[in-house]
Amino acid sequence: MGEENQRGARLSLEAVVVVTLRPDTSNSTFGNLLIMSTSDPTGTQVTTDLSIASAPCDIDGVPRLLNELASLGRSHDLLADRDGRLSLLDKARSLVAALETPRETVIRQCGAETASFYSIALGVDVGLFKELAKDGGSAKKAPTLAEALGFDVDVLRLSLILSPPRQTVR
């Protein structure tokens, strides 16, 4: 049985899945793992080990990626060869992806990168980067910047913590 949404499409209520999280006590070595049990309307039971969320995505590929990264770094003049530098950057991102757990990837993409984006947007809006570029881009103290921008020093510090590069303000 279903209902029609605003566009007239039929919504199926049978697609509801029940999810139960419970500690896995059947394995003494990994007793702290979570097991997700799901059942669909037909009664089909599916169990998934949620430890995959805390395991690196491709730990077996890390040695190969490290070798490829080192080889790329040695084979290019990174200042003169833009394509070589971009290849090295792409390989470095692949290494990070292999080392990260799915959970860490989600936290980075949804949390840290989003916060950095908004901190950068705020910096553009209030003229922060123009102020940072003054005096040849020399290091600045947060209270001095806040006064120059007419900005609250604590909010500015938080914004600077979240936005790269972090070494420009003390």
Structural domain boundaries in the chain: 2-54, 56-100, 113-170
What is the number of alpha carbons within 13 Å of residue 74 lying toward its C-beta? 6
The mean predicted confidence, pLDDT, of the chain is 75
Burial of 49 (0-12, 13-18, 19+ CB in 10 A): middle
CA dist., res. 29 & res. 26, Å (int)? 9
For the whole prediction, is pTM greater than 0.85? no
Q: Is the dihedral of CA 20, 22, 27, 30 positive or negative?
A: positive
pLDDT of the residue at 96: 94
pLDDT interval class at 160 (50, 70, 90): confident
Nearest Cα neighbor of 35 from 25, 158, 67, 163 is 25
